[in-house]
């Protein structure tokens, strides 16, 4: 006679043995479900710290934007060389054109002030020197400050720069250069010996072509 099993014991573990614990497997996820990752904040939303501490974040608004570190200046041996002074074949015609512009404007104003009789009196010479100097100042100082060149230098494709850093000269530096030009001209007329003015008050006259090449090289180096 077959030995029967006690009721309710079918499928149970033998006495003294505990069933194996059923382990939970987190991977892989169920079919059709993607794993859950922390969602990154969208553009324009404050970070998690600002959401949790809005008052502290509002007290430091400068922290809301990432600040780039300041750009360090390159050492002198790595910087591109400054443009060289333009040759006299370009500078002298430019100077002559600037002087002729001032002289012609002065004579036209003097002729209009003298009237049809051309009375060579105070009005004539006052208009001659006053208008001539005014046109020269506007042309070689104000126009050069705004555009980087005077009328004569623009015709010869020249520019004025600071010899130190290649930037556009300021108004005071251009004014000193313009005034010293009259002193040099007076000395040249008295001594009958003209010396090249060179770089007056550290202002250099360069070709526009060379200045563009210098700026492109400086922009590539940052």
What pLDDT sits at residue 184? 82
Comparing 200 with 90, the larger pLDDT belongs to 90
- Domain layout of the chain by residue ranges: 87-221
Q: What is the band of 96 on the pLDDT scale with cuts at 50, 70, 90?
A: very high
Helix (H, G, I), strand (E, B) or coil at 209: helix
Helix, strand, coil share (%) of the chain residues, nearest 5: 50, 5, 45
User: CA 53, CA 44: separation in Å to the nearest integer?
Assistant: 17
Give the pLDDT confidence of 143-183 residue by residue, as tens digits.
999 999 999 999 999 999 999 888 999 999 999 999 998 88
98-154: per-residue pLDDT in tens? 999 999 999 999 988 887 776 777 788 899 999 999 999 999 999 999 999 999 999
Q: Which tokens is 91 given?
A: 């500078």
pLDDT value of residue 195: 59
What pLDDT, in 10s, does the model give residues 23-66? 555 545 554 555 555 555 554 445 565 556 665 555 555 554 44
Q: How far apart are CA 148 and CA 40, in angstroms?
A: 50
102-111, long-range: CB < 8 A, 24+ apart: 102/132, 102/133, 102/135, 102/136, 102/139, 103/132, 105/131, 105/132, 105/135, 106/130, 106/131, 106/132, 106/133, 106/135, 107/132
Q: Using CA atoms, how far apart are residues 72 and 102, in angstroms rounded to an integer?
A: 45
């Amino acid at each position: 006679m077959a030995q029967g099993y006690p009721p309710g014991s079918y499928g149970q573990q033998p006495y003294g043995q505990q069933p194996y614990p059923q382990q939970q497997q987190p991977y892989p996820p169920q079919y059709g479900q993607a794993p859950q990752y922390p969602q990154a904040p969208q553009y324009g939303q404050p970070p998690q710290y600002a959401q949790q501490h809005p008052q502290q974040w509002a007290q430091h608004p400068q922290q809301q934007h990432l600040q780039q570190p300041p750009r360090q200046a390159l050492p002198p041996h790595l910087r591109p060389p400054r443009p060289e002074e333009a040759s006299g074949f370009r500078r002298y015609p430019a100077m002559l054109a600037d002087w002729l512009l001032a002289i012609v404007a002065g004579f036209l104003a003097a002729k209009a002030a003298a009237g049809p009789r051309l009375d060579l009196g105070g009005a004539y010479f006052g208009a001659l020197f006053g208008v001539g100097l005014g046109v020269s100042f506007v042309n070689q100082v104000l126009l050069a400050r705004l555009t980087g060149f005077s009328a004569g230098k623009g015709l010869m494709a020249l520019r004025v720069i600071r010899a130190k850093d290649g930037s556009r000269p300021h108004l005071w530096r251009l004014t000193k250069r313009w005034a010293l030009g009259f002193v040099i001209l007076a000395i040249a007329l008295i001594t009958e010996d003209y010396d090249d003015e060179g770089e007056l008050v550290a202002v250099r006259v360069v070709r526009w072509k060379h200045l563009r090449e210098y700026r492109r090289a400086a922009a590539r180096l940052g």
